[in-house]
């Protein structure tokens, strides 16, 4: 079986790694992939945002199944184009991808289907939005409607910040068209939880819940990033809480997808805030979370190829989603200057010396040169360890992180510490 993975980051490295462990021994290909992924999969050149070109490449290489990693190709309609040409696809079509590519669309979906979420209003007119920012209770949250690679959300504690956020997004054009429309919403409090729901158009299944650490610095300080670490499962998200999430959030969401006519095949990432009033949806992503996926996949016992293929072909009901006991934790090693101006081209040492079989290092932003590995992006490496419990997974992951080095390397020392109640 020929399986193509679309993407090139740490999440896609983890997807390729897990698929490569399938007893069915698929031939893996990746477009465009990374130097690190080349050890697991054959690289194809091409632009994931050009659906016609990807379809052509798939036809030439007899691809049976495509697994789409990032949101941008999904928003560009890649899943529809591939499905239309008879290829099995893990990833929703363009219409359902709007749940991520338009926050206004996602909020409207949540409201129509009675799913708990922050109170909100959508604004196309900058002067009406500025008036709202000047009047609504503080703190408040201003969100760019469109895709913003993690930079579209401003949590504003002061009037000045709120008005500046509206002006920056709607008039300053910081995020281009993505910020022309904004959502202004109530600020929620509580720890966050990432729930990854597998869907095949008929039924759904859950992966173990995870928690991301979005801020750059220890204690939830510093700017928001793509994610600096994650762990799974989440001790405070016990069976009672997960049953409540299922009842109040997931069932109405899945029923809403069906009644709105979406044949959703892939994974829906439901970002929740666990507020004193109960779980509320912060956001949807229409793809695997990054870095949550790097932490979750090592815990999956079932054959991952069976799982993604079942989602793509509508047979998820026949798959037993089994997870291993224990915990998993991912620490992100980032470049100097990340997230604003990451330094690249720094030589990485210590990558070839990992002695612990329960540790795996996924490459997010690296390049292989004749001199060895060098940094090539903001988030550089994901060090993932599994253990009997969270403390053991933590210890192994940090021991492994300490063996790796590059100039200016930064990482959080507090992944899975004190965050169970604080979030951040």
Token reading at 329: 């934790």
Q: Is the dihedral of CA 334, 336, 342, 343 positive or negative?
A: negative
DSSP type of residue 333: E
In the list 87, 97, 118, 312, the residue contacting ligand AMP (rule: CB under 6 A) is 118
| Residues of span 142-161 touching ligand AMP by CB under 6 A | 153, 155
In the list 94, 285, 294, 328, the residue contacting ligand GLY (rule: CB under 6 A) is 285
Q: Choosing among ligand GLY, ligand AMP, none, which partner's interface includes residue 71 (Cβ < 5 to 8 Å by kind)?
A: none
* Interaction between residue 214 and ligand AMP (CB under 6 A): yes
Q: Is the peptide bond before 166 cis (omega within 30 degrees of 0)?
A: no
Mark the segment that binds ligand GLY (CB under 6 A) among 79-87, 286-294, 299-307, 343-351.
286-294
Q: Is the dihedral of CA 224, 226, 232, 237 positive or negative?
A: positive
* Interaction between residue 146 and ligand GLY (CB under 6 A): no
- Taking the complex as a whole, the smallest distance from the CB of residue 117 to ligand AMP amounts, in Å, to 8
Closest CA to 194 of 263, 94, 267, 257: 267
- Taking the complex as a whole, the smallest distance from the CB of residue 150 to ligand GLY amounts, in Å, to 6
| Residues of span 261-300 touching ligand AMP by CB under 6 A | 271, 282-283
For the chain, how many helices (H) and strands (E)? Answer: 14, 22
- Taking the complex as a whole, the smallest distance from the CB of residue 289 to ligand GLY amounts, in Å, to 4
> In DSSP terms, which residues pair with 230 in a beta bridge?
212, 330
* Interaction between residue 227 and ligand GLY (CB under 6 A): yes
- Taking the complex as a whole, the smallest distance from the CB of residue 185 to ligand AMP amounts, in Å, to 5
Q: Choosing among ligand GLY, ligand AMP, none, which partner's interface includes residue 100 (Cβ < 5 to 8 Å by kind)?
A: none
- Taking the complex as a whole, the smallest distance from the CB of residue 192 to ligand AMP amounts, in Å, to 6
Mark the segment that binds ligand AMP (CB under 6 A) among 17-25, 35-43, 158-166, 179-187.
179-187
Helix axes 103-112, 251-259, angle to 10 degrees: 100
- C-alpha 279/C-alpha 293 separation (Å) is 21
At residue 267, φ and ψ (nearest 5 deg) are: -120, 140
Binding track over 227-266 against ligand AMP, x by CB under 6 A: ----------------------------------------
In 113-264, where does DSSP find H-type helix? Answer: 126-135, 159-170, 239-245, 251-259
Q: Choosing among ligand GLY, ligand AMP, none, which partner's interface includes residue 188 (Cβ < 5 to 8 Å by kind)?
A: ligand AMP
424 touches 220 (CB < 8 A): yes
> In DSSP terms, which residues pair with 369 in a beta bridge?
372
Q: Choosing among ligand AMP, ligand GLY, none, which partner's interface includes residue 289 (Cβ < 5 to 8 Å by kind)?
A: ligand GLY
Sheet bearing 211-212, strands edge to edge: 211-212, 229-232, 327-334, 379-387, 359-363
Q: Choosing among ligand AMP, ligand GLY, none, which partner's interface includes residue 292 (Cβ < 5 to 8 Å by kind)?
A: ligand GLY
Q: Is the peptide bond before 139 cis (omega within 30 degrees of 0)?
A: yes
225 touches 216 (CB < 8 A): yes
146 touches 173 (CB < 8 A): no
- C-alpha 325/C-alpha 106 separation (Å) is 34
* Interaction between residue 57 and ligand AMP (CB under 6 A): no
By residue count, the chain amounts to 424
Q: Choosing among ligand AMP, ligand GLY, none, which partner's interface includes residue 155 (Cβ < 5 to 8 Å by kind)?
A: ligand AMP
The enclosing H or E element of 295 equals helix 292-296
Distances (CA, A) of 112 to 6, 25, 115, 237, 385: 33, 44, 8, 27, 41
**Residue number, 9 or 191, with CB nearest to ligand AMP:** 191
Token reading at 205: 């299944």
* Interaction between residue 289 and ligand GLY (CB under 6 A): yes
* Interaction between residue 200 and ligand GLY (CB under 6 A): no
Closest CA to 205 of 95, 77, 307, 275: 307
- Taking the complex as a whole, the smallest distance from the CB of residue 378 to ligand GLY amounts, in Å, to 14
In the list 53, 187, 206, 409, the residue contacting ligand AMP (rule: CB under 6 A) is 187
- Taking the complex as a whole, the smallest distance from the CB of residue 275 to ligand AMP amounts, in Å, to 9
What is the distance in angstroms between the CA of the first residue and the CA of the last residue of the chain?
A: 41
* Interaction between residue 175 and ligand AMP (CB under 6 A): no
- Taking the complex as a whole, the smallest distance from the CB of residue 78 to ligand AMP amounts, in Å, to 22
Binding track over 240-279 against ligand GLY, x by CB under 6 A: ----------------------------------------
Binding site for ligand AMP (CB under 6 A): 118, 141, 153, 155, 185-188, 192, 214, 271, 282-283
Interface residues with ligand GLY (CB under 6 A)? 212, 227, 285, 289-290, 292
């Amino acid at each position: 079986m020929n399986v193509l993975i679309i993407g090139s980051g740490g999440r896609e490295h983890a997807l390729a790694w897990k698929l490569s462990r399938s007893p069915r021994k698929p031939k893996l290909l990746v477009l465009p992939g990374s130097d690190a992924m080349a050890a697991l999969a054959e690289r194809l050149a091409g632009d994931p945002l050009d659906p016609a070109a990807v379809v052509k490449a798939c036809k030439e290489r007899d691809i049976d199944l495509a697994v789409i990693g990032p949101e941008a190709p999904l928003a560009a309609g890649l899943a529809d184009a591939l499905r239309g040409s008879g290829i099995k696809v893990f990833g929703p079509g363009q219409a359902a991808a709007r749940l991520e590519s338009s926050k206004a669309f996602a909020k409207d979906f949540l409201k129509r289907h009675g799913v708990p979420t922050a109170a909100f209003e959508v604004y196309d007119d900058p002067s009406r939005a500025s008036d709202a920012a000047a009047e609504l209770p503080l703190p408040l949250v201003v969100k760019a409607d469109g895709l913003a690679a993690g930079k579209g959300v401003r949590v504003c504690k002061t009037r000045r910040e709120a008005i500046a956020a509206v002006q920056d997004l709607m008039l300053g054009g910081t995020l281009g068209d993505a910020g022309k429309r904004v959502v202004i919403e109530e600020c929620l409090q509580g720890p966050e939880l990432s729930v990854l729901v597998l869907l095949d158009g008929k039924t759904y299944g859950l992966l173990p819940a995870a928690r991301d650490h979005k801020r750059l610095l220890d204690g939830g300080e510093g700017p928001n990033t793509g994610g600096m670490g994650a762990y799974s499962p989440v001790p405070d998200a016990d069976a009672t809480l997960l049953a409540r999430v299922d009842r109040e959030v997931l069932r109405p969401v899945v029923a809403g997808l069906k009644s709105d006519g979406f044949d959703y095949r892939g994974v829906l990432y439901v970002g929740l805030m666990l507020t004193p009033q109960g779980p509320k949806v912060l956001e949807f992503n229409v793809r695997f979370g990054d870095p949550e996926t790097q932490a979750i996949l090592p815990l999956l016992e079932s054959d991952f190829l069976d799982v993604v293929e079942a989602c793509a072909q509508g047979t998820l009901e026949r798959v037993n989603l089994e997870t291993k006991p224990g915990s998993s934790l991912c620490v992100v090693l980032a470049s100097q200057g990340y997230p604003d101006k990451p330094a690249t081209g720094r030589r990485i040492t210590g990558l070839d010396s990992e002695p612990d079989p329960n540790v795996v290092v996924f490459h997010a932003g690296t390049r292989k040169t004749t001199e060895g590995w060098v940094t090539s992006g903001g988030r550089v490496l994901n060090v993932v360890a599994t253990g009997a419990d969270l403390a053991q997974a933590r210890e192994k992951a940090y021991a492994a992180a300490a063996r790796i080095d590059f100039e200016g390397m930064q990482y959080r020392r507090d992944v899975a510490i004190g965050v169970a109640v604080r979030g951040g």
